[in-house]
Amino acid sequence: MFNNKSIYIFSSIALCLIMLASIQWGAVSITNIQMADAVKHFFQGKTPSSIYEGVFLQIRLPRVFLCLISGAILSVSGVFMQGLFRNPLVEPGIIGTSAGAAFGASIVFVLAVYLPMDWKALVGPLLVPLFAFLGATLATYLVYMISKNHQKTSILSILLVGLAINAMGLSGMGFMTYIARDPQARSINFWNLGTFSGANWQQVFIVLALLIVVIFSIFKFIKPLNALLLGEEEALYLGVNIKQFRRKILILNTLMVAIITSFVGVIGFVGLIVPHIVRQLVGSDHKKLLPMSMLVGASVLLLADLAARLLLAPSEIPIGIITSLVGAPIFIFLLKKKLFIKSDA
Amino acid sequence: MLKLQDINYTIGTKQILSGIQINFEPGKLHMILGPNGSGKTSLLKITSGQIQNFNGSVFYDNHLINQIPAATLATYRSYLSQQNNIPFPLTVTELIQMGRYPHYSYEPTKNDFKVINEVVNKLEITHLLNRDFNTLSGGEQQRVQFARVLAQVWEKGTNNSRYLFLDEPLNNLDIQYQKYLLQTIREFIKEDLVVIMIVHDINWALAYADKVYFLNKGTLVAQGNPADIITTHLIADVFKVEAQLINVPGQKHAVVAY
């Protein structure tokens, strides 16, 4: 096989090329010269001289950065959760986080019409992210508190309670969709499939700050996550303070999923599948798995977003449709390959 | 020195262990025996710091175990369990390296690599290093895990003593490897090392143990030198089996025949 260094270099180059393509291609194409002009004018403090420069600076760039960082964070989150639960089938939002966010957002879509007009103008665009974030964190907190046991909190009970709360969140959202009027129900639906079309620079800065926190945390999580591969008891014998570690990683993961989901909606499959792809490339050592998942996750989500923009241009397909449509077959392929190897041995 | 004082342990209403008092002396190989469900693994998990909600005290060199931080204890205590299920692909090298985790912060030092090398050579598993752990046979997995826990306490640390716990380490092994592992442990034992293991075969206890401990229904029914305390009477009492102790010419210890 390839060695690790060449995989890193290849993935980094691929990511750069995909980024460039994502910036240039779309409903409006942007050339290299227009990009250069836009950057030049920006630093000279001039207003953009053409519509292309405006699209580049205010629409394309934030979108690409938001998408890239979201892909990286969702993939890392998948690695975190699969490692924590020692289960390859776990998704980032599995313990109520995604469903909580979806429920929170659906409340806003349905009830925001009853807000006074001047209120709506003031806080309107912030309401969906805010409620999604609250729903996500509350649901996960609920899961953690319910599964907490004074003697020993089993990781399995967190997972099972998580599944239950997830179901409750989805049914809550289902109810909101049911009582919603048609356009509102459509909004809920779209939000649940995710989109990067509303990206702006504020969001980029927030997720960038989050990314920096995540990168610093990764260094501390590598050894505990590796040790957990052996089992929870084994990790304790290797000096991991399991209780503390579990709390830290669950809090960080909730923040990661809640923030991303509140900005771009629920994007399925990326956090599940990217860790699997990367394990095939570099193995399960989190020292390689985590940074590589960031690279691959960013590329994969950028590609998905590109497809979402180009396939039915000038209109857009929700990105969740693309990620699930392409992700599911890849997942089955990887699974079959693995089962095949297992039965071979 | 590892000291257990008046250990009582219950799960729900079921009494698992009662009134256990043991002094595990360093430089000796200690073996725990007893029928299934007699509390052997619970005793090992309490002594090693895994189970914390028991009554009584465990002392490591006069320090109460619950006052030693997990990360510190891990630099001089390792434990081989019976669980070998790893849900993801992992190479043998990566797995053995984990045994050195308590000793380095981010990158393994030269010394860590030296230790790993020595352990791998000692256990003759060099040919397995690049294999995926999950493709190994049960016996190979057991030897690789043994290498990991050995690497963890391979060197004399800053602490006075080192502690190695082995829960049925001979499982899945052919007799040649059972013997090899026991001999490796015997050679490895130094004056600062406490080795406590659970075994099933009384013959291995007679041949290799310095001290044996017989558990039955959660109580310690006998402890001492194997030659002194292993009798047909004790075996009948603990295991409900009629056995014979036979002296073999040319062997220092007796053998048990069931």
B11 belongs to a structural domain: yes
* Residue with the larger pLDDT of the pair B100 and A117: B100
Q: Which residues pair with B132 in a beta bridge?
A: B91
Mean pLDDT of B155-180: 87
**Residue A51 half-sphere exposure toward CB, CA atoms < 13 A:** 3
| Three-class secondary structure of residue B1 per DSSP | coil
Domain edges within chain A: 4-344
Would the pLDDT of A129 be above 90? no
| B137 and B258 share one domain | no
Task: Please give the structure tokens belonging to residue A148.
Answer: 């907490």
Handedness of CA B191, B194, B195, B196 (dihedral sign): positive
Say yes or no for a CB contact (<8 Å) between B49 and A279. no
Q: Which residues contact A72 (CB under 8 A, 6 or more apart)?
A: A211, A293, A294, A295, A297, A298
For residues B256 and B211, state if they share a domain.
yes
Q: Hey, are the CB atoms on A239 and B71 less than 8 Å from each other? A: yes
| B142 touching A (Cβ < 8 Å) | no
Decide which of A15 and B191 is more confident: A15
**pLDDT tens string A319-336:** 999 998 888 888 888 777
Residue type, A152: K
* Residues B133-150, mean pLDDT to the nearest whole number: 93
Q: What would the pLDDT profile of B180-218 be if each residue is shown by its tens digit?
A: 999 999 988 888 899 999 999 999 999 999 999 999 999
**pLDDT grade, residue A95 (50/70/90)?**
confident
Predicted pLDDT at A342: 47
Are B105 and B190 found together in one domain? no
Asked, for residue B231, whether it belongs to a domain, the answer is yes
Average pLDDT over residues A252-256: 93
* Closest residue, chain B, to A288 (C-alpha): B94
Give the model's confidence band at A2: pLDDT under 50 very low, under 70 low, under 90 confident, else very high.
low
Position B83 in a domain = no
Residue A123 in this model has a pLDDT that exceeds 70: no
B145: closest chain A residue by CA: A230
Mean pLDDT of B124-132: 94
Cα→Cα distances B249→A281, B179, B193, B203, B252, Å: 59, 20, 32, 16, 8
Question: In total, how many domains does chain B have?
Answer: 2
Residues of B with Cβ-Cβ distance to A234 under 8 angstroms: 79, 81, 83
Encode pLDDT of B32-43 as tens digits.
999 999 999 999
Fill in the amino acid letter for A110.
V
Helices then strands, counting H and E runs in chain A, come out as: 14, 0
Residues in chain A whose beta carbon is closer than 8 A to a beta carbon of chain B? 82, 86-88, 151-152, 219, 222-223, 226-227, 229-231, 233-234, 236-241, 279, 283-285, 341-342, 345
Residue A121 confidence class, pLDDT cut points 50, 70, 90: low
Query: Among residues B119, B138, B139, B136, which one has the least CA distance to residue B128?
Result: B136
Q: Which of A70, A85, A11 is nearest to A320 (CA)?
A: A70
The reply to whether B197 falls in a domain is yes
Residue B82 lies in a domain: no
Mean of the pLDDT values across residues A222-227?
Answer: 95
**Percentage of residues in chain B having pLDDT higher than 70:** 99
d(CA A341, CA B135): 9
Q: Which is nearest to B50 in space by CA: A236, A151, A226? A: A236
Q: How many CB atoms lie within 10 A of CB B180?
A: 15
Shared domain for B112 and B151, answered yes or no, is: yes
Please state, as a whole number, how many other Cβ atoms lie within 10 Å of the Cβ of residue A227.
Answer: 25
Which token pair is B217? Answer: 């229904």
The residue type at B154: W
Of A110-119, A157-166, A207-216, give the lowest mean pLDDT range: A110-119
Amino acid identity at B132: D
pLDDT digits (tens, 9 = 90+) for B14-31: 999 999 999 999 999 999
Nearest of A246, A70, A227 to residue B74 by alpha carbon: A227
CA–CA gap between residue B20 and residue B30 (Å, rounded): 15
> Mean pLDDT over residues B107-115, rounded?
94
> What is the distance between the alpha carbons of residues A241 and B74, in angstroms, rounded to a whole number?
11
Q: How far apart are CA A21 and CA A36, in angstroms?
A: 15
% helix, strand, coil for chain B, step of 5 = 35, 30, 35
Do A226 and B101 make contact, defined as CB atoms within 8 angstroms? yes
B247 touches chain A (CB under 8 A): no
Alpha-carbon distance of B49 to A134, in angstroms, equals 39
For residue B19, give every residue at least 6 positions away whose Cβ sits within 8 Å of its Cβ, in sequence order, or none: B6, B7, B8, B219, B220
Q: Which of A219, A236, A279 sits opposite B89 (nearest CB)?
A: A279
Considering the domain boundaries, does residue B30 fall inside one?
yes
pLDDT attached to residue A345: 35
Q: Where are the alpha helices (DSSP H) in A231-318?
A: 232-237, 242-264, 270-282, 286-310
The DSSP line for A16-27 is HHHHHHHHH-SS
Q: Is A239 left (phi over 0), alpha (psi -120 to 50) or beta?
A: left
Same domain, B33 and B113: no
* Residue B95 contacts A, CB cutoff 8 Å: yes
Single-letter residue type at A320? G
Domain of residue B66: give its range.
Answer: 1-76+161-172+184-258
Distance from the Cα of A228 to chain B's closest Cα (Å) equals 9
Please state the rounded mean pLDDT for residues A22-33. Answer: 84
What's the Cα-to-Cα distance from B218 to each of B40, B48, B231, B235, rounded to whole Å?
Answer: 8, 17, 20, 16
Give me the pLDDT at residue A40, please: 83
> For B135, which of A240, A279, A345 is closest by C-beta distance?
A345
Domain CATH code at residue B218: 3.40.50.300
- The average pLDDT across B249-258 equals 84
Residue A344 pLDDT: 38
Q: Provide the 8-state DSSP code for A284.
A: S
Q: Which of A11-20, A22-31, B81-90 has the lowest mean pLDDT?
A: A22-31
Is B191 among the domain residues? yes
Q: What is the pLDDT of residues A269-293, one digit of tens each?
A: 899 999 999 998 899 999 999 999 9
Name chain A contacts of B86, Cβ cutoff 8 Å. 229-230
Same domain, B65 and B165: yes
Can you give the C-alpha Rg of chain B in angstroms? 19
Instruction: Check whether residue B168 and residue B253 sit in a common domain.
Output: yes
Same domain flag for B63 and B165:
yes
Residue of A150, A152, A221, A230 to mutate, testing the B interface (most B Cβ within 10 Å of its Cβ):
A230
User: What ipTM was estimated for this complex?
Assistant: 0.94
Whether the CB of B159 is below 8 Å from some CB of chain A: the reply is no
Please report the pLDDT score of residue B211 as a whole number: 95
Confidence of residue A44 (pLDDT cuts 50, 70, 90): confident
DSSP state of B248: P
* Residue B244 falls inside a structural domain: yes
A4-344 maps to which CATH number? Answer: 1.10.3470.10
Among A57, A68, A58, A8, CA closest to A34: A57
Give the pLDDT of residue B62.
87
Closest chain B residue to the Cα of A151, Cα to Cα = B53
Cβ A77 vs Cβ A274: under 8 Å:
no
Tokens of A313: 């241009």
Q: Which chain A residues have a beta carbon less than 8 Å from that of B70?
A: 236, 239-241
Nearest-angstrom CA–CA distance, A18 and A152: 46
State whether A241 and B79 contact (CB < 8 Å).
Answer: no
Question: Does residue B258 share a domain with residue B168?
Answer: yes
**pTM for this structure?**
0.91
Q: Are B72 and B35 in contact (CB under 8 A)?
A: no
Q: Which of B255, B158, B197, B244 is nearest to B34 (CA)?
A: B197
Mutate to test the interface with B, among A230, A237, A240 (most CBs of B within 10 A): A237
Are A262 and A132 in contact by the 8 Å Cβ rule? The answer is: yes
Same domain, B144 and B168: no
B243 φ, ψ (degrees, to nearest 5): -130, 165
Encoded amino acid at B192, one letter: D
Q: What average pLDDT is seen over chain B?
A: 92
Residue listed under structure tokens 């639960």: A85
Name the strand (E) or helix (H) holding A205. helix A201-230
Confidence at residue B204, expressed as pLDDT on a 0 to 100 scale: 93
Question: Minimal Cα distance from A241: which residue of B?
Answer: B70
Sequence letter at residue B171: N
Residues B118 and B56 in one domain: no
Q: What pLDDT does residue A122 have?
A: 66
Residues near A191 by beta carbon (within 8 Å), at least 6 away in sequence: A102, A105, A106, A109, A128, A265, A266
Span of A69-78, A313-322, B8-17 with lowest mean pLDDT: A313-322
Angle at B223 between CA B221 and CA B226, to 5 degrees: 120
Residue A189 has pLDDT above 90, yes or no: no
- B63 and B92 belong to one structural domain: no
Rounded Cα distance, A220 and B105, in Å:
9
